[in-house]
Amino acid sequence: MTPLSRIIRTMIETDGPMGIDRFMTVALAHPQHGYYITRDPLGTAGDFTTAPEISQVFGELIGVWAVAQWQAMGEPQSFLLVELGPGRGTLMADLLRAAQVRPHFGKAAKLHLIETSPVLRAAQAARLGPGATWHFSLESLPAGPALVIANEFFDALPIRQFECRGGRWFERLVGLQGGGLKLGLAAQPVKLGLSGQDGAVMEVAPEREAVAEALGDRLKAQGGAALVIDYGHTVTAPGDTLQAVRAHGFAAVLERPGEADITSHVDFEQLGHAFRRGGAVVPPVMRQGDFLTAMGLAARVERLAGQLQGGDRENFLSAARRLAEEAAMGALFKVMTVHSPRTPAPYPFGVS
Ligand code: SAH
């Protein structure tokens, strides 16, 4: 039992079984024991790694994307450079370094970071130096055109799950088992108005969609574009994608709340609908491998590898390959752009 298992058990004893969304919120964001609140989860000593931590090329190519989009917007002299869930600040540091090819970009960019974790806010401040402003959500951002980056952010926002049994739908809830001592799954009948095969699981992500809709609305009203990268699927399909990860391996979702990362795959079809409801334009989603290739991955890797030798060179090349190869991150991870109707469609989306 973790401190959070005890807290969740008391909540269930008081209020009855809770939705998966509430369980995720408590496990990840409890003000005292929440997973993201208490630790830096990234890197070899942590629980999982992400593309910017694997290779500097990832953030650099996103820097190239951001500069190109800033130019397409007519090089505004002041704009918000926003990142949702910036982790250790690695992606932003690599982006800003690559963007130095256009010094005016760095002068025009006002850095705004949306982050709930005090531990990661400190890591971001150490990495990026003075000049950034932190927020808990989009609402407190100042007005103005924005370029927004979100890598592995939307997967961390809570979902609800529904399961079809004998032609009827049930919401999956977290309840108590083993004489009230253990957390276990429970089910509650719901009316979904959908047909489904026995055993099918459907996921919905109202909080994720609320953030996307608010961002779409802001981009429509004030101009700019966003780049969203995450693991997930392009078309809505049934499936249980809820997962817990601890020490670089999968863990049981209910086992040690507060000590494992809990996420789900992003349904990019529904995310796109939410951005459109807000008023943004959403071109077709790309696979991460195709996006990075179009942004010049091969040339960048070749240039940097030319400065390395032996084992360093091999490590660098294999890390860069991991980002784009189909069997690694290249196909599972998708890249979605959304933009204001007043802003030109970002390269390389819609180019075939
Ligand atoms: N983008 C980084 C980190 C990904 S991990 C990278 O690619 O390495 C998820 C990030 O989102 C962490 O920084 C985490 O603290 C943050 N986060 C999770 N839920 C959040 C929320 N509801 N609001 C703001 N930030 C959140």
Nearest to 35 by CA among 83, 84, 2, 82: 2
Residues 6+ apart with CB under 8 A from 209: 270, 271, 273, 274
Handedness of CA 40, 43, 46, 49 (dihedral sign): positive
**Residue 11 in contact with residue 26, Cβ under 8 Å?**
yes
Supply 233's token pair: 């699927």
Residues with CB under 6 A from ligand 1: 36, 42, 50, 52-53, 85-87, 91, 114-117, 120, 151-153, 156
Residue 328, helix vs strand vs coil: helix
**Residue 119 in contact with residue 37, Cβ under 8 Å?**
yes
| 282 Cα–ligand 1 center, Å | 23
**Residue 147 in contact with residue 219, Cβ under 8 Å?**
no
pTM score of the predicted model: 0.97
| 215 Cα–ligand 1 center, Å | 16
User: What average pLDDT is seen over the chain?
Assistant: 97
Question: What pLDDT does residue 254 have?
Answer: 97
**Ligand 1 atom with the shortest distance to the CA of 41:** 5
Model confidence band, residue 229 (pLDDT cutoffs 50, 70, 90):
very high
**Residue 210 in contact with residue 330, Cβ under 8 Å?**
no
Question: What pLDDT does residue 350 have?
Answer: 79
| 193 Cα–ligand 1 center, Å | 34
Task: Report which residue type is found at 155.
Answer: D
User: pLDDT tens, 124-155?
Assistant: 999 999 999 999 999 999 999 999 999 999 99
Question: What pLDDT does residue 52 have?
Answer: 98
26, 30, 36, best to mutate for ligand 1 pocket (most atoms within 8 Å of CB): 36
Find the mean pLDDT for residues 101-123: 97
User: pLDDT tens, 37-94?
Assistant: 999 999 989 999 999 999 999 999 999 999 999 999 999 999 999 999 999 999 999 9
Residue 217, helix vs strand vs coil: helix
- Separation between Cα atoms, residue 122 and residue 85, nearest integer Å: 13
Percent share of the chain, pLDDT over 70: 100
Supply 9's token pair: 């058990």
54, 58, 115, 124, best to mutate for ligand 1 pocket (most atoms within 8 Å of CB): 115
Q: Is the pLDDT of residue 20 over 70?
A: yes
35, 44, 117, 231, best to mutate for ligand 1 pocket (most atoms within 8 Å of CB): 117
